Structure 1
């Protein structure tokens, strides 16, 4: 083959014309050239310089992306749910009464947790916490890889990251959330101190047993506050955070108990290694076995009534001190949580009051067999007259069944429990009768039923009947109080001046704002609560120095300091006036409407007692407010329709009433009329004589009344003669209401069916020791 042919063959790709040369070329340089060309092509494509350059570029791109994220992601507002707290309510001795709110959490400042306990969390979770930048990049990268690969949750986060997850983000396991956690953690670490972050972490973490935050956890596991935790206990709580449900000692399996003990040891060993705990102290520590779980106190029974009343007291004080502008704002502040309220409620006396109500009243009711029994409600409040502390309160059978607090409601007439206030005004103001005779315990009044009340020789249009229209004739004020004679106190109120009477009532503690100063008010036709009446009588017991019942002992809140005013105020009536009323009221117990229930009670043991019964219009309420030198308690029993139906007052036609309307108590517990000397006085006596620490006597500065002298035999003297004129049309009448409307709707027109004397014809007071007609509130009067 010529060269031209060979060239043409090569151009065609054939080598048939020169096989040997081609073979040599393939065996030598041809082979090397072919393989070497491939390798040099790869080298040209993947040189070390290019690889390093690409990696560097990726790093730059990642850094730029991270800078972009850092600039774009701001630290968000804290998650409100993460710091949502409950309100804590405690008895006076510090025992927990109740918690309110969805979340069992109480935020505490870091200085309320000992340094040793704080460091258990650092030792458990993040030993470099006080030195790092707030982020564990290796742990975060590992978590991202596991999330992308579907391996789920991965530890390794710093305390700062966990705090950010708890407070600013969610528990979602997503790449986006983890990247946000990284950026926000870096920023939070720059914006907040390490102590602030640690406090946030231990307050927002979940410890199991429905306990959020270290304070709730300390109570849930060891029944102590966070500031009382030992280092050993703190180490257990720190260990819990890894697996709260699994590591709860009360429900842990044998394996889980070994694991949590190992974790506990790990925490303490880390503390020793870091120099935060001495080896000697470490070796002396024993595993602190937690207490068994205890159900979180709810609002059942009396707890709800006490919580509601405490909240109301706090709201009023927030407004009074200017922290809240109005009631709506105050309610919002209280419901936001974070309050720890210690009440003045004495745990033992509270139990004694509940026991007394059950033993003497509620256990005798059967709402299924007797419809009226379902309509019976009871309320009571007990006050220390020397301090004003509310020691016990009964709001109803159960807060979850009957929401209205019967101890604080003001829609029922206090009836004859108002009469002592008229006498207090009379003595304090040096008032006189129509004949200018000083009004004292021995002053004679005409107790004739329906005797027209007169003022300066003129009828005032008010002629209240005594119960069952009984005429008592001439009686002393002491006897009139013992027998609760309406006609006497109606006239006395006008003699004193109704403006003065109502002013004195207000000074003593009754809420009389907006109530007209008319003669009908002498029969207690305004509304009042057991707590209110307990305060009034406590002022009498305290020798005329004002007592404002104080339910709340102290309040603590992280951001809002609250100080309650002193429960003991100024002298509002003279000591002589207050002591005279007390002296007279001992006669009600020893020789009047409360003698059967109180005087003859075998548990009395010689205790001196003052008190007053009351039974309102149509027997819708019955009261006994009584006191010893150390304890004042007011008990009310109220008729409240359990459901819509009909009711009647005496012989009047039945009227339709809605549920919760005021209805008669007549026939409750299978008896007749429910009077103040019956169930209310029985409950009072059972509670008071059980709660007494010792027998005591009143220290009285008066020469009047049953406590210092026997009731004298009244001497007949002329009584005011009523003129013949008709009452003016605008004067109040005495016709009782026919509807079940609350008494406030017509307070000046409704005299109560105040008491229960044995029916009798008109008579004057007998001479000597002949007994007067039956007692108005005597439970035996109708047996």
Structure 2
């Protein structure tokens, strides 16, 4: 059997074919045109070739040849690129210009752009501090050729695929990006960065490159370069920095806005500390720091930031908010890798930004905050007065424009914007979201009753929440531990009864509640869908709550509050998204919530400050108060058909920044001076809203419940408040009696009770603030709304 025959046999199935009988040449067929067929010659049938078309096309020789050809082409292209791309003139200082910010009416709000930078010689930076930056960013800096090919290739691929920024750049590459190029996220810029980095590494010493890097990097707090950063964070010159302080500044470069200790969330503070440890551990690994010395180091908490001159009052807050929004848009449009890179680009200047702030409304909001609260604060008389931090945001629900913002008493005195911070609990201002989810989902009680404004619930304090007959281990107290017995949803909203909304959240399903919260505009990333969230135990900002309520006011169409009206840089105009988006919940669901919230003003916790305000003049108002446990935050978020405003009051220790109780503020409140959402926040809201009101308006609601739904009856408390002092508002119910309620958590008021009162949770929440004035960690019940 010949080799060709064996090969064909293997192709047919791996079996050797039976030998064919040999034919002599005499028995061969007559000769054809090509002559006689000799011994061993066979005709080939069409298609019987040993190689198919695909195999002929993709041979290993062709594949290898193609690969080598591409490699040669790439090498040739890179060599050409290397020859053609020069090292440009540095652009870090020469091209800086001022940013101009304008009000909505075109008048100038502020000019900012004198970059806070002072270049220092590397010799003036302690050697150990120099090494913190190498340990943080590029341990092989002193040995490499200035580029990280793997990191650059990864960055190119992610740019092409739209995945955004990835780490991996060397110190040389980052210096080139800072000084010679820009922060733009493009393939062209990344290729130029690669080539220029190779050339710079050949021309400059490592010390010169490192000096350039630490002098051109952006550290946050408007600080460019290590000298400005040393002053901004530690009030010292660069030559006085310790290794610990240098490690923090080096750690900052990964995420300046996120790791700035003054504004960082608890999660960000943990990440910043982890990065700080990473830097110091790398120094030990490289032999630059003694291990025993490393063990004795403690985290150097930065000083509080100082505002930029010219940014006093509310100006700095507005400028920072505009810069932050522009930075987010630049990232969203793929212009830069990260918000920190974008913010650095914005801070370099040359921008003209027009904000949506209405100067008249802005002045009115500032005046309301001063007259109703800040003028009454006297830290010299009362220590607690130094801890009161107000914040507010006002939004046009039809356009999504932020027409006024109050960030704090003064940007130069309190750097953090209270209008945008989201580290305090919104408390009972979250309750309307639960009702919105119930109506949107067509949810029912445990007894199968549709949830509407007139649906009955058990309003007893500490009533055990149940799910399909099983206790879920959650039984929150009501304000002052008051039992209300049978109540409607309308009354529960008016009186902010915790037990009702805890049960409603489980009836709806907490996953659905949090999903609707996200649709309305709350940042729910990382939030657990647990019953405790019904009490508003998550963090939120006045800006966030204003957006949620604006969406309700806008009949369920999503409103994302926007401070920027336009942004231009030379000949470039940034496209800004429409603040008003799609329908995220039905109009009926949104309007039903609005209808119910009018009752909070007319017959609930906001009546003293809003309903009876002489400036109201018949204006229809919907809103909700909120007061977190231990009196750390107090809220009123309310709206008319044309204006939504969220006012928050936060207890922040003036020295440590910790959350504290605000009891006793201004010294004018009765009893223990408890600060409630129906007090100062509602008073600021009313003074501002009624002061800028052009006309009296009514809600146009699409709901069969009508506007200003009245409770079906007035509830009668059944227990004397025992844990907290009464509020400053007049009572609206009869004195408590000794009657004990026996109602189940669902059904209508007319149903016959079938169950005894709920059990008390095994772990009791604290009934007062700790004697040291600090905030207890992880309270069991974060909300005790009035």
Shorter-chain TM range is 0.5 to 0.7
Match in the other structure for 1:668: 665
Check conservation: 1:458, 1:722, Cα contact below 8 A.
no
Q: For 1:310-321, what aligned pairs fall within 5 Å after superposition?
A: 310-321=322-333
Instruction: Tell me how far apart the structure 2 counterparts of residues 308 and 737 of structure 1 sit (CA, whole Å).
Output: 37
Matched, 1:439 2:436: no
Instruction: Tell me how far apart the structure 2 counterparts of residues 430 and 570 of structure 1 sit (CA, whole Å).
Output: 21
- CA RMSD of superposed structures (Å): 2.6
Instruction: Tell me how far apart the structure 1 counterparts of residues 346 and 371 of structure 2 sit (CA, whole Å).
Output: 36
Instruction: Tell me how far apart the structure 2 counterparts of residues 395 and 346 of structure 1 sit (CA, whole Å).
Output: 15
Q: 2:784 aligns with which of 728, 737, 754?
A: 754
Match in the other structure for 1:688: 689
Matched, 1:459 2:493: no
User: Alpha-carbon deviation of 1:721?
Assistant: 4.6
Match in the other structure for 1:309: 321
Instruction: Tell me how far apart the structure 1 counterparts of residues 319 and 472 of structure 2 sit (CA, whole Å).
Output: 46
Q: For 1:24-35, what aligned pairs fall within 5 Å after superposition?
A: none
Instruction: Tell me how far apart the structure 2 counterparts of residues 102 and 753 of structure 1 sit (CA, whole Å).
Output: 45
User: Alpha-carbon deviation of 1:685?
Assistant: 0.2
Q: For 1:84-163, what aligned pairs fall within 5 Å after superposition?
A: 84-102=96-114
Instruction: Tell me how far apart the structure 1 counterparts of residues 357 and 505 of structure 2 sit (CA, whole Å).
Output: 36
Instruction: Tell me how far apart the structure 1 counterparts of residues 363 and 516 of structure 2 sit (CA, whole Å).
Output: 34
User: Alpha-carbon deviation of 1:754?
Assistant: 2.1
Check conservation: 1:442, 1:712, Cα contact below 8 A.
no
User: Alpha-carbon deviation of 1:693?
Assistant: 1.1
Instruction: Tell me how far apart the structure 2 counterparts of residues 388 and 446 of structure 1 sit (CA, whole Å).
Output: 38
User: Alpha-carbon deviation of 1:716?
Assistant: 3.5
SS at match of 1:554: strand
Instruction: Tell me how far apart the structure 1 counterparts of residues 665 and 589 of structure 2 sit (CA, whole Å).
Output: 38
Check conservation: 1:510, 1:536, Cα contact below 8 A.
yes
User: Alpha-carbon deviation of 1:493?
Assistant: 0.3
SS at match of 2:435: helix
Match in the other structure for 2:702: 701
Instruction: Tell me how far apart the structure 2 counterparts of residues 322 and 720 of structure 1 sit (CA, whole Å).
Output: 61
Check conservation: 1:629, 1:697, Cα contact below 8 A.
yes
Residues 735, 610 of structure 1: alpha-carbon distance in 2 compared, 3 angstrom cutoff: same
Matched, 1:522 2:523: no
Instruction: Tell me how far apart the structure 2 counterparts of residues 357 and 724 of structure 1 sit (CA, whole Å).
Output: 42
User: Alpha-carbon deviation of 1:722?
Assistant: 8.2
Instruction: Tell me how far apart the structure 2 counterparts of residues 674 and 455 of structure 1 sit (CA, whole Å).
Output: 34
Instruction: Tell me how far apart the structure 1 counterparts of residues 646 and 380 of structure 2 sit (CA, whole Å).
Output: 29
Check conservation: 1:457, 1:723, Cα contact below 8 A.
no
Instruction: Tell me how far apart the structure 2 counterparts of residues 485 and 723 of structure 1 sit (CA, whole Å).
Output: 16
Q: For 1:477-626, what aligned pairs fall within 5 Å after superposition?
A: 477-558=489-570, 560-626=572-638
User: Alpha-carbon deviation of 1:591?
Assistant: 0.5
User: Alpha-carbon deviation of 1:297?
Assistant: 8.9
> Which string of whole-angstrom CA distances, capped at 9 and with x for unpartnered residues, describes residues 50-86 of structure 1?
xxxxxxxxxxxxxxxxxxxxxxxx9983775443101
SS at match of 1:680: helix
Instruction: Tell me how far apart the structure 1 counterparts of residues 87 and 703 of structure 2 sit (CA, whole Å).
Output: 73
Residues 360, 325 of structure 1: alpha-carbon distance in 2 compared, 3 angstrom cutoff: same
Instruction: Tell me how far apart the structure 1 counterparts of residues 590 and 712 of structure 2 sit (CA, whole Å).
Output: 19
Q: Which has the larger radius of gyration?
A: 1
Instruction: Tell me how far apart the structure 1 counterparts of residues 473 and 765 of structure 2 sit (CA, whole Å).
Output: 9
Q: 2:395 aligns with which of 364, 379, 383?
A: 383
Instruction: Tell me how far apart the structure 2 counterparts of residues 521 and 688 of structure 1 sit (CA, whole Å).
Output: 30
SS at match of 2:493: helix
Q: For 1:156-195, what aligned pairs fall within 5 Å after superposition?
A: none
Q: For 1:207-356, what aligned pairs fall within 5 Å after superposition?
A: 298-356=310-368
SS at match of 1:503: helix
Residues 618, 475 of structure 1: alpha-carbon distance in 2 compared, 3 angstrom cutoff: same
Residues 724, 633 of structure 1: alpha-carbon distance in 2 compared, 3 angstrom cutoff: closer
Instruction: Tell me how far apart the structure 1 counterparts of residues 402 and 505 of structure 2 sit (CA, whole Å).
Output: 31
Instruction: Tell me how far apart the structure 2 counterparts of residues 381 and 527 of structure 1 sit (CA, whole Å).
Output: 16
Match in the other structure for 1:190: none
User: Alpha-carbon deviation of 1:435?
Assistant: 0.1
User: Alpha-carbon deviation of 1:327?
Assistant: 2.1
SS at match of 1:603: coil
> Which string of whole-angstrom CA distances, capped at 9 and with x for unpartnered residues, describes residues 168-197 of structure 1?
xxxxxxxxxxxxxxxxxxxxxxxxxxxxxx
Check conservation: 1:375, 1:665, Cα contact below 8 A.
yes
Instruction: Tell me how far apart the structure 2 counterparts of residues 103 and 548 of structure 1 sit (CA, whole Å).
Output: 31
User: Alpha-carbon deviation of 1:576?
Assistant: 0.6
Q: Where does structure 1 lack aligned partners over 5 or more consecutive residues? A: 1-73, 105-295, 644-658, 756-775, 777-783
Question: Number of residue pairs matched?
Answer: 471
Instruction: Tell me how far apart the structure 1 counterparts of residues 411 and 318 of structure 2 sit (CA, whole Å).
Output: 9
Check conservation: 2:438, 2:508, Cα contact below 8 A.
yes
Instruction: Tell me how far apart the structure 1 counterparts of residues 411 and 623 of structure 2 sit (CA, whole Å).
Output: 29
Residues 76, 325 of structure 1: alpha-carbon distance in 2 compared, 3 angstrom cutoff: closer
Residues 323, 667 of structure 1: alpha-carbon distance in 2 compared, 3 angstrom cutoff: same
Check conservation: 2:378, 2:386, Cα contact below 8 A.
yes
SS at match of 1:305: helix
Instruction: Tell me how far apart the structure 2 counterparts of residues 598 and 724 of structure 1 sit (CA, whole Å).
Output: 35
Residues 379, 337 of structure 1: alpha-carbon distance in 2 compared, 3 angstrom cutoff: same
SS at match of 1:515: coil
User: Alpha-carbon deviation of 1:638?
Assistant: 0.6
Residues 95, 724 of structure 1: alpha-carbon distance in 2 compared, 3 angstrom cutoff: closer
Check conservation: 2:630, 2:775, Cα contact below 8 A.
no
Instruction: Tell me how far apart the structure 2 counterparts of residues 80 and 667 of structure 1 sit (CA, whole Å).
Output: 51
Matched, 1:471 2:505: no
Match in the other structure for 1:124: none
SS at match of 2:422: coil
Check conservation: 2:428, 2:783, Cα contact below 8 A.
no
Q: 1:361 aligns with which of 348, 373, 380?
A: 373
Q: Where does structure 2 lack aligned partners over 5 or more consecutive residues? A: 1-85, 117-307, 715-747
Instruction: Tell me how far apart the structure 2 counterparts of residues 345 and 327 of structure 1 sit (CA, whole Å).
Output: 23
Instruction: Tell me how far apart the structure 1 counterparts of residues 89 and 637 of structure 2 sit (CA, whole Å).
Output: 54
Check conservation: 2:535, 2:783, Cα contact below 8 A.
no
Residues 297, 367 of structure 1: alpha-carbon distance in 2 compared, 3 angstrom cutoff: closer
Instruction: Tell me how far apart the structure 1 counterparts of residues 768 and 752 of structure 2 sit (CA, whole Å).
Output: 34
Instruction: Tell me how far apart the structure 1 counterparts of residues 311 and 775 of structure 2 sit (CA, whole Å).
Output: 28
Instruction: Tell me how far apart the structure 1 counterparts of residues 753 and 319 of structure 2 sit (CA, whole Å).
Output: 52
Residues 78, 537 of structure 1: alpha-carbon distance in 2 compared, 3 angstrom cutoff: same
Check conservation: 1:458, 1:723, Cα contact below 8 A.
no
User: Alpha-carbon deviation of 1:569?
Assistant: 0.8
User: Alpha-carbon deviation of 1:709?
Assistant: 5.5
User: Alpha-carbon deviation of 1:562?
Assistant: 1.4
Instruction: Tell me how far apart the structure 1 counterparts of residues 630 and 758 of structure 2 sit (CA, whole Å).
Output: 30
TM-score, reference length from structure 2: 0.57
